[in-house]
Amino acid sequence: MIEGILPTAESSTPKTPANAQSPLGKDEFLRLLVAQLSAQDPLNPMDSREFSAQLAQFSALEQMTNVNSTLEDLVAAQQAMGNSTNISLIGKRVDVPGNSFEHTQGATTNLTYTIGTEAQSAKIEIYNSAGALVNTINGTGAVGSNLTVWNGLDSQGNALESGFYTFKVRATDANGKIVTAETFTTGLVTDVLFEENKAFAVVNGQKLPVEEITRVSIN
């Protein structure tokens, strides 16, 4: 060991330059090609076939770059158009999956639900914001979408006050077997939110993806 020089531990892990980890772009490719042409031997130039192949690679790389740029522009334009359309939902009444709805005293409310198989009986139970059952009305049991109008009264015929309510559908077939029903709520879109490239509509105080909206109508 030479005096004054300390030994250093050798690492078995090869050191790779930081820029070697990044992919080769079109600018780097072009500079590399120019450097290769500048350094070639005039008396022994590059084979024409090899040179043509490298030019073809560069042309393909340039085309791919342009295509990617065009696609990014199209995606951005489509997203902007979609955001503009979603904003127009504000102030509209929509149907979305759910069982909560806002009731105005003295008004009627449309209760919408779907049934997969025909039901012999369909009972709609209506609950107030405290979770108490206030009325049970008869609904339709046809396969597919069903709509039943609630007159806003309780089981005693009294007009219920304004507020948020929920409903459940209990449907059975001819053999008394329970039939699954999916409920939909109707409400006013008060806000539209954009989060992580997704759009959400605020309906009856709930944030729901706009793609879950099944119907839009003028308030």
What's the token pair of residue 153?
């009264």
* Whole-number Cα distances in Å, 63 to 57, 66, 67, 71, 196: 10, 5, 6, 12, 30
- In the chain, where are the structural domains located? 52-87, 92-218
Q: What is the pTM of this model?
A: 0.54
Res. 213 pLDDT band, cuts 50 70 90:
confident
Radius of gyration of the chain (CA): 34
Is the pLDDT confidence value at 170 over 80? yes
Res. 5 pLDDT band, cuts 50 70 90:
very low
Mean pLDDT of the chain: 78
Q: Is 153 in contact with 135 (CB distance < 8 Å)?
A: yes
> For 162-188, what is the mean pLDDT?
92
pLDDT at 9 (0 to 100): 47
Considering the domain delimited by 92-218, tell me its CATH architecture.
Sandwich (2.60)
Buried b / exposed e over 48-68, threshold 16 CB at 10 Å, is eeeeeebeeeeeeeeeeeeee
Residues paired with residue 111 on neighbouring β-strands, in sequence order:
148
Residue with the larger pLDDT of the pair 181 and 10: 181
Out of 7-11, 96-100, 137-141, least confident range: 7-11
> For 121-125, what is the mean pLDDT?
96
Q: Is 189 in contact with 91 (CB distance < 8 Å)?
A: yes
CA nearest neighbour of 30 among 54, 46, 53, 48: 54
The one-letter amino acid at 80: A
Res. 168 pLDDT band, cuts 50 70 90:
very high
